[in-house]
Amino acid sequence: MTATIPLHGTCDPRFDTVRDAFAENFAEHGEIGAALSVFHRGDCVVDLWAGTADLRTGHAWQEDTLCGVLSATKGVTATCVNILIDRGVLDPAAPVATYWPEFARAGKAEITVAWLLSHQAGLPRLDAPLPLEQALRWNPMIDALAVQKPSWTPGTAHGYHPQTFGWLAGELIRRIDGRSVSAFLAEEIAEPLQLDLHIGLPTAEHHRLARLVFNESPDRATPRRPPIALTTPPIDFTDAGTFLAEMPAVNGVATARALAHLYAALIDPAAPLLSPATIAAATTEQVSGHDVTLQAPTRFGLGYSLHSQTFPLLSESSFGHSGKGGSLAFADTADQLAVAYIPNHLLSGYGHDPRRTALFEALRRALGQQCR
């Protein structure tokens, strides 16, 4: 190992290759600050952090440093929705308008919950984007989505919904349960499991936030995807105030340990957060192939991203979600593995991230040599 970055935390010796890859990312791939957590068969076998949380102040990454995870938030929101499916109060085959009557406008009466969760609803953007200050207040965005006409005939194609997924799924939660996504996540998942995981971060916790850094790594060979027409003006994720609101597709905040623990709880055979039947349904491929938004191949289950060329995970038995720029959280049912990786140096565009690729290779070596 050539890297000399000081690492903090713990690592089971069986996963030394993963520890080494995490350290080498600082020397080889421009890592600034990051955390990595791995659960294997219910045990936390890797829990590491290193580097700088805020380049402006030089503040080091700490055990309790929180970091924005961008679209890895979608996997958290999908878990909230699947809890309602598990309880029998939400039917993925039912029209969304069953629970949200106003949604039926503009040719959307037949859109099912499953289509919405698998990016088939044709609502990746608004024809008239809202000012960010309106979107942050929730109701203006919900009202706009209710009257928005789909961009394609729902159910005939799929296209990644980069921002709107969170408001659409979040409003389903609110209509059925009465609570906001933030409250549902806190009361049903984060508090019972003691997870440092938030959508809508209280001001009192902002001192723990890592500051995100956006720029391209020189060794990133995958070309950028075509730009996506978004529903709001650009969101400033370097502003801690961005994390006060509820944008359940993009502004989740967590420690790596919390996110990995969430996915470990989903596949825990003794006391799973979701029943095995619900997990099987949620991770069954709903769509695959050409994504009309990203112009690249993707695969989705009921809210979870599945292993694909565009959003690679560990294997075909993995489900979870990555975040633009680097963050990643997933479970792998075959290996009983749960992983979360959260960096604050975010690389531009979509495609393969050399840091994640290195971690995947190290995980495969550890599992192949010692753990199966």
Q: Measure the CA–CA gap between 82 and 162, rounded to whole angstroms.
A: 19
66 DSSP 8-state letter:
B
Q: Six-digit token pair at 258?
A: 């919390």
Q: How far apart are CA 335 and CA 343, in angstroms?
A: 24
Q: How many CB atoms lie within 10 A of CB 339?
A: 30
User: Cα angle vertex 229, ends 226, 230, to 5°?
Assistant: 130
- Give the pair of three-digit tokens for residue 235: 């969101």
Q: Which residues pair with 233 in a beta bridge?
A: none
Q: How far is CA 21 from the centre of its chain?
A: 22
CB 336 within 8 A of CB 203: no
Is 180 known to be catalytic?
Answer: no
CA 244 to chain CA centroid, Å, is 18
8: which residues sit within 8 A by CB, 6+ positions away? 48, 49, 50, 61, 63
Do 273 and 189 contact (CB within 8 A), yes or no? Answer: yes
Q: Which of 71, 180, 318, 327 is catalytic?
A: 71
Cβ contacts of 182 within 8 Å, gap of 6 or more? 198, 199, 200, 246
3-state SS class at 61: coil
**Percentage helix, strand, coil for the chain under 3-state DSSP, each rounded to 5:** 35, 20, 45
How many CA atoms, within 13 angstroms, populate the side-chain half-sphere of residue 130?
Answer: 19
Cα–Cα distance measured from residue 148 to residue 106, given in angstroms and rounded to the nearest whole number:
6
Whether 328 and 356 have beta carbons less than 8 Å apart is answered as: yes
Q: Which residues are catalytic?
A: 71
